[in-house]
Amino acid sequence: MSTIGRRPTTPKELVRAADRISFVYLDRCVVNRDSNAITATDERGTVHLPAAAVGVLLLGPGTTITHQAVALMSDSGSTVVWVGERGVRYYAHGASLARTSRLIQAQAEAISSTRTRLRIARAMYEMRFPDEDVSELTMQQLRGREGTRVRRIYREHAERTGIEWTGRNYDRQDWDTGDPINQALSAANAALYGVVHSVIVALGCSPALGFVHTGHHRSFVYDIADLYKAELTIPAAFDIAADSSLDVAGETRRRMRDALHGGKLLPRCAHDIQRLLLGEDTDDLNTFEYFEIEAIASLWDDRHSPVAGGVSYGDEP
């Protein structure tokens, strides 16, 4: 089907982000375009998805996508993320879901100030351990508190499952040298990182600009993933390692796949990221201002608010 000469969609014609399906996962199918719908075809038949109603399209193993389908997703204000099975590995992504730079600007501004960076680091810790008051703690004190709490969580699950726990110890280059519990933890964390990375890029944030972690191209991924480890990856890893009959790597991936999918981590993660960066006063945490975006970006001005783009300012002094 040819789309030569098709007029690009305007923001006002798009489905409100609040009314979209946040994430759609597809695997083992051919993804194509039929008019303004995305189609997914496998041996069972073809399913049509209105492109403008999809926020993020997650493409799992065995998918093939056409150029026309990608063009339609971009035109519809959606993004495409290539992931592992059920979204547990991040590989690459297309255009961001966001139609403003609001979140990444907030992220960059916050990380550029010691005061705001510390405030967000404290907020992250409070989300993980809400029973502690960390409002006056320094980063050094936060790291100490975190280390103590995480070690305690490891010990509690070791006692619960009867596993001998000697500490977190693994070799990134040699999987086989790790004991079952460390293998399970590594596999579970990798699955979590994949999902979190997908959400971060879909929202238009930078995976590299972390608040607790720094100096790595996935620093912010590690920051956000840490919010959920005590709840998701640590207990699952200990449960799997306690059963010596299981294939640790395979079972961990399957267990995490179901836990992350069933626990609706994707919309929860999106909510948490936006709340951290934009604050508690954000009314609509899972949407962006599709209807307020002009076709041409504004221009930065060092003395005033941003000025309109697409205007000749040649007469200005």
Which domains are assigned to the chain?
11-83 (3.100.10.20), 102-278 (1.20.120.920)
Higher per-residue confidence, 246 vs 234? 234
What tens digit of pLDDT does each residue of 87-111 get? 777 888 887 767 678 899 999 999 9
pTM: 0.77
Integer Cα distance of 317 and 314 in angstroms: 8
What tens digit of pLDDT does each residue of 284-294 get? 444 444 333 44
- H or E element at residue 259: helix 248-262
List strands edge to edge, sheet with 64-65.
45-50, 37-42, 30-34, 64-65
Best CA proximity match to 189, nearest among 233, 158, 124: 233
Mean model confidence pLDDT for the chain: 83
Tokens of 167: 């500490």
Best CA proximity match to 156, nearest among 238, 79, 268: 238
C-alpha angle 98-31-36 in degrees, rounded to nearest 5: 60
In the annotated binding site, the residues are 146, 213, 226
The DSSP code for 30 is: E
In the annotated binding site for Mn(2+), the residues are 146, 213, 226
